[in-house]
A = this chain, B = another copy of it.
Amino acid sequence: MGILRMGYIHTRVTDLAEAKNHYANTLGLYETHAEDGKVWYKGWDEWDHHSVVLEEGGVGVVKYGFKVQYLEDIDRIEKKAQDFGAKTERFSAGEVAEVGDGLRVYPPSGHVFEIYHEMTSWGLEVGTHNPEAFPRHLVGVGVPGLDHSLLTCEDVGLMEKFLAEVFDFYTAEKVMSSLDDDADTLGVWMTPSNSIHQLAVIGGPQGKLHHFAFQLDDWAEVLRAADLFTMDDVSKDVGPTRHGITRGKTVYFFDPAGNRNEVFAGGYMAYPDRPCIIWTADQLGKGIFYHDRELNERFTTVLT
């Protein structure tokens, strides 16, 4: 009951042909629809119609979709959003392609969030009867599905409050300016579920995208992904390495438009009763890149 997960991300890309090559041939997403300068994708282990929408023209994130378990969850979130003071608007089935009746919410981060309960079902690529462990003929990296996103906004603490109060997310890990009582919240890794993070927030300009991530199974797949990025001339940012925050194994890279992507494996199961992990600003480098123990400048400055 409540939000199940980040169900889709809709992003802009400067050149759709280049982007399709990247997301389909290198990452191995399955195209489920294309129309009017847009293309819809899903991973092989996803069952809904899409988890990624690309739209030609510019860069950055147009909007995020969050799927709820029950139709009534939409009403509840609408009420909470309005109580919080966030603008909302309803949309009807079909207004958002392949998506049922839903709610658009404008959180304090300057992004657009869509809440929905229904999306056209597409089915798992391995089927549901006596399935194989993965599709026999994967393309490229063969990502199973979307994982999470990191966005920026001016007031991280306010956005954490919004996600906690309106979306019932909890904070699995956070970065504080210090351990003092009046310390500032510099970043939060939040989730409504056992996924270690569905949405993370760090300080920066309003409405910007830091990255969105695809799942991988393990460290061996992270290496193979990094190898394929070299073969396919994908612009790599950082990795393979481990995050201190979440413990996940990772490669950051850029799509041809310059949007930062990630492949992410591992990380522990989050629970609301698990102690929240606190990182302090002086250890942020280790928190983000566990092996390098320092940030590179790109990490904090390149946003779309």
Taking a contact as CB atoms closer than 8 A, the residue among B129, B144, B219, B273 that contacts A223 in the complex is B219
* B-chain residues with CB within 8 Å of residue A134 when the two chains form the complex: 227, 247
**Interface: A197 (CB within 8 A):** no
**Interface: A14 (CB within 8 A):** no
Cross-chain contact A67 with B226 (CB below 8 angstroms) = no
Closest chain B CB from A273 CB (angstroms):
6
**Interface: A268 (CB within 8 A):** yes
Cross-chain contact A230 with B290 (CB below 8 angstroms) = yes
**Interface: A45 (CB within 8 A):** yes
Cross-chain contact A278 with B247 (CB below 8 angstroms) = no
Distance, CA A277 to CA B47, complexed state (A): 12
Cross-chain contact B273 with A4 (CB below 8 angstroms) = yes
* B-chain residues with CB within 8 Å of residue A80 when the two chains form the complex: none
Classify the secondary structure of A's interface with B: loop
Closest chain B CB from A220 CB (angstroms):
3
* B-chain residues with CB within 8 Å of residue A240 when the two chains form the complex: 240-241, 291
* B-chain residues with CB within 8 Å of residue A217 when the two chains form the complex: 218, 266
Interface pairs (24), CB distance under 8 Å: A1-B1, A4-B271, A4-B273, A47-B274, A47-B275, A69-B273, A123-B275, A129-B278, A129-B280, A130-B283, A132-B231, A133-B231, A133-B244, A133-B247, A136-B232, A194-B195, A195-B269, A217-B266, A219-B219, A226-B291, A230-B291, A236-B291, A240-B241, A240-B291
